[in-house]
Amino acid sequence: MDNKNLIEQNITDTLELNYMPYAMSVIISRAIPEIDGFKPAHRKLLYTMFKMGLLNGPRTKSTNVVGQTMKLNPHGDAAIYETLVRLTRGNDALLHPFIDSKGNFGKQYSKNMAYAASRYTEVKLDSICSEIFKNIDKNTVDFIDNYDGEMKEPVLLPTTFPNILATPNQGIAVSMASSICSFNLKEICAATTAFIKNENTDIKKYLKAPDFTTGGELIYDEDEIDKIYNTGRGSFKVRGKYRFDKKNSIVEIYEIPYTTSVEAIIDKVISLVKAGKLKEINDIRDETDLDGLKIAIDIKKNADVDMLMHKISSMTPFTDSFSANFNILVNGSPKTMGIKGILKQWLGFRTECIKRQTAYDLDMKADKLHLLEGLEKIIIDIDKAIKIIRQTPEERLVVPNLMEGFGIDEVQAEYIAEIKLRNINKEFLFKRIEEKHKLMEEIKRLNDILKSDELVKDIIIAELKEVSKKYGKARKTDIIFHNEIPQISQEQFIEDYPIKLFLTRHNYFKKITLASLRSASEHKLKQEDEIIQELETSNKTDILFFSDKFNVYKAKAYELNECKASSIGDYLNNLLELEADESIIYICATVDYSGYMIFGFENGKIAKVSMQAYYTKVNRKRLVNAYSSKSRLIFISFIKEDCDFIVIRDNDKAMMFNTALLNEKITKSFGGVQVFALKKNSSVTKIIAKQDFLSDDEQYYRSDKIPSAGHFINEDDKIKNGIAQKTKLL
């Protein structure tokens, strides 16, 4: 390539020149709705149907509508038909559909329920469209050329109610999006009426909350609703509804959030069942039919239905969020507004429509009055008019002669000249005079409307009341307050059952259900490995792992994988992310962090640390300085309450004491209390629970005070307990 032909360009200038027009086109011409509540694709489609006479006429094939719409919308028949489907009564996407339909149009709440081809379905405009197109032929809105200049189309539709709030709209443009939820039409009309009368009114008194075709229950959080109403941004949650067929143990979901689908809920439930998180469910299936939406869930006979539905609600789209972003085009510019801002913009738009319609009617009536004023002059001497006409030799001179004879203009003379001979009678003429007086009164009324914003507001309010009366419906989405919903923690969703934990010397860990353990033959371990601790507990406990590096690692039992006795288990270095040379030496389980940890040290000190020392409000996985590092640890044990232990010194002396003699400490790294009085070069070599020490007279070793020098171990007890030499320390 010849570099001489290359021209350097500033990238920002190039983007502004080429990309910005595209971005603005998407924002203005496709994705963002305008104050009439429609995107261009909706407006072009509905206006085409209006011009086809489908407001009052019979239904026609959808393919005819699609074809005609392409005169205004050149983006292809598939896109047009998708737009049409969403606006139909059969699709159930809108609280107030604009298209009366016949045939299969799929369902908004189902991804798999496909709509039929356009050649099979039939449509016409629904009756509410009379409010959408009201007086559109009276210059209420501007018209522009279509893409090829062959037709005219409206810039906006003169809706008599705030359709922008009644119709849900979602769109993604370039660098911005819009997400508008639908509201109940009765509530919209009442709120708009109240706002027109007083802009400072509390909108929430009339406009309770969003409303959706799929029903469900809106979880009302006043702070979030206030945020949405005031700023146009925020989110709220909607959950589905269900009923329980106790006889057949079937839960039937019959309403779901607007933002999800039947398939999404079923797929998520199935995945949770496979993961073992919803063990109460035997089967789930889609039983949606002509009677409406239904998801049937077969559950086990002894299942807690309320708890199951709480699980489903928290872990599936059975409860889903709607993120509101009231981004609307106002005079060609995107603007995010709260409810009052939207109502103010719509009120300004509707006021302009009524004034334009009034001006149009005024012009029409003024022209009619002008004709009747000319006729009135003729009535004074009708015989003269007849004489002028009869004596005029040429037809083209009739109008000029009437103008000259009665002092009227050409328009009036033309009107008079066209009156039929049969109408030149007193009854006809006097009716026209009476009509003139009525016209004068009507013109005065229209002039008053043009001059008075209050009269315009009265007209808007009257239209809103009429719309509410004719098309208003009861709410479909119920409202429940978030503080009325019982708060259930995640742990309550966890199934509780007995388990047994195993810790091996080589740092392997097993969590095995007792049911599985009963059917097992023997444990599988790595070569030269051995089990050093067994612990029976339940699936809803906290497990504490104490390491030889003075750390404790915490985990929820239900978060740990279950395994079989025939597996070697989980390697704790990976499971707990231990240091390379770190090993777990002890595990314990707790529900309420009651009881104590007992730490015995080589220097004869023993620490009694409250389990509360290991409790944390946040789920911390690692606590450092879990026990003292001042002396070598030789014993560790969890006790629920005070009990007796045997402390052995140098394998020749022993003492028995009760842990009640030890002061409880909340400090994890507490170095302990001197229990055994040691002489120089002596050390504690072993600590044994009383029940594990074999002796015919264990009370011989009892000491009621600490520290104690202990008693010499008799030879018989040494033999029974295998005490012959110093044991290896942990």
pLDDT given for residue 728 in this prediction: 41
What band does 380 get if pLDDT is binned at 50, 70 and 90?
confident
DSSP code of 34? B
CATH architecture for segment(s) 241-317: 2-Layer Sandwich (3.30)
pLDDT at 53 over 60: yes
Please report the DSSP string for 344-386 in residue order. Answer: HHHHHHHHHHHHHHHHHHHHHHHHHHHHHHHHHHHHHTHHHHH
pLDDT digits over 686-706, tens only?
999 999 899 888 899 999 999
pLDDT at 730 over 90: no
Is the distance from CB of 74 to CB of 147 less than 8 angstroms?
Answer: yes
Two tokens, residue 317: 């789209």
Q: Is the peptide bond before 707 cis (omega within 30 degrees of 0)?
A: yes
Instruction: State the Cα angle at 361 between 358 and 367, rounded to 5°.
Output: 140
> Per-domain residue ranges for the chain?
32-159, 241-317, 343-471, 490-720
Helices of type H across 392-425: 398-406, 410-417
Is the distance from CB of 161 to CB of 466 less than 8 angstroms?
Answer: no
pLDDT at 642 over 80: yes
What band does 34 get if pLDDT is binned at 50, 70 and 90?
very high
pLDDT given for residue 173 in this prediction: 56
What band does 171 get if pLDDT is binned at 50, 70 and 90?
confident
pLDDT at 19 over 70: no
Question: What number is the average pLDDT over the span 415-436?
Answer: 78
Two tokens, residue 508: 């392997």
Question: What number is the average pLDDT over the span 188-203?
Answer: 96
Two tokens, residue 203: 């909108």
pLDDT given for residue 679 in this prediction: 85
Q: How far apart are CA 330 and CA 36, in angstroms?
A: 10
Torsions phi, psi of 17, nearest 5? -75, -40
Question: What number is the average pLDDT over the span 191-210?
Answer: 96
Instruction: Say if residue 677 is exposed, middle or buried (CB neighbours under 10 Å; 0-12, 13-18, 19+).
Output: middle
Between the alpha carbon of residue 216 and those of residues 110, 213, 250, 309, 563, the distances in Å are 16, 9, 19, 14, 41
Query: Of the given ranges (207-211, 330-334, 653-657), which has the lowest mean pLDDT?
Result: 330-334
In this structure, the dihedral spanned by the alpha carbons of residues 262, 266, 268 and 272, taken in order and rounded to 10 degrees, is 160
Beta bridge partners of 533: 503
Torsions phi, psi of 63, nearest 5? -65, -30
pLDDT digits over 583-605, tens only?
999 999 999 999 999 999 999 99
DSSP code of 150? S
Nearest to 674 by CA among 717, 652, 714, 707: 707
DSSP code of 490? G
What band does 383 get if pLDDT is binned at 50, 70 and 90?
confident
pLDDT given for residue 21 in this prediction: 61
- Rounded percentage of the chain residues whose pLDDT exceeds 70: 94
Two tokens, residue 111: 């991804």
CATH topology of domain 343-471: Topoisomerase; domain 3 (1.10.268)
Beta bridge partners of 245: 250
Which stretch of DSSP H or E encloses residue 639? strand 633-639
Query: Of the given ranges (8-12, 190-194, 562-566, 657-661), which has the lowest mean pLDDT?
Result: 8-12
What band does 15 get if pLDDT is binned at 50, 70 and 90?
low
Please report the DSSP string for 551-581 in residue order. Answer: -EEEEEGGGSPP--TTS--EEHHHHTT--TT
Amino acid (one-letter) located at 331:
N
Average pLDDT, the chain: 90
Amino acid (one-letter) located at 204:
K
Catalytic annotation, pick one of 120, 147, 497, 615: 120
pLDDT given for residue 573 in this prediction: 92
Q: How far apart are CA 518 and CA 514, in angstroms?
A: 6
What band does 729 get if pLDDT is binned at 50, 70 and 90?
very low
**Tokens 């029940």 appear where?**
691
Question: What number is the average pLDDT over the span 380-394?
Answer: 84
Two tokens, residue 642: 């005070």
pLDDT at 517 over 60: yes
Nearest to 203 by CA among 236, 169, 226, 237: 226
pLDDT given for residue 16 in this prediction: 65
Homologous superfamily of 32-159: Topoisomerase II, domain 5 (3.90.199.10)
pLDDT given for residue 18 in this prediction: 65
Q: How far apart are CA 11 and CA 280, in angstroms?
A: 60
pLDDT digits over 69-107, tens only?
999 988 789 999 999 999 999 999 999 999 999 999 999
DSSP code of 30? I
Class of 490-720 in CATH: mainly beta
Is the distance from CB of 633 to CB of 663 less than 8 angstroms?
Answer: no
Q: Is the dihedral of CA 313, 319, 320, 321 positive or negative?
A: negative
The more confident residue out of 434 and 537 is 537
Question: What number is the average pLDDT over the span 551-567?
Answer: 90
**3-class secondary-structure state, position 290:** coil
pLDDT digits over 491-509, tens only?
667 778 899 999 999 999 9
Instruction: Say if residue 592 is exposed, middle or buried (CB neighbours under 10 Å; 0-12, 13-18, 19+).
Output: exposed
pLDDT given for residue 174 in this prediction: 58
Question: What number is the average pLDDT over the span 336-341?
Answer: 96
What band does 582 get if pLDDT is binned at 50, 70 and 90?
very high
Nearest to 663 by CA among 602, 717, 604, 596: 596
pLDDT given for residue 25 in this prediction: 53
pLDDT given for residue 542 in this prediction: 93
Task: Indicate if 120 belongs to the active site.
Answer: yes
Q: Taking the chain, what is the end-to-end CA distance rounded to the nearest angstrom?
A: 78
Between the alpha carbon of residue 648 and those of residues 289, 634, 652, 682, 721, the distances in Å are 78, 11, 7, 11, 11
pLDDT given for residue 22 in this prediction: 54
pLDDT digits over 340-353, tens only?
999 999 999 999 99
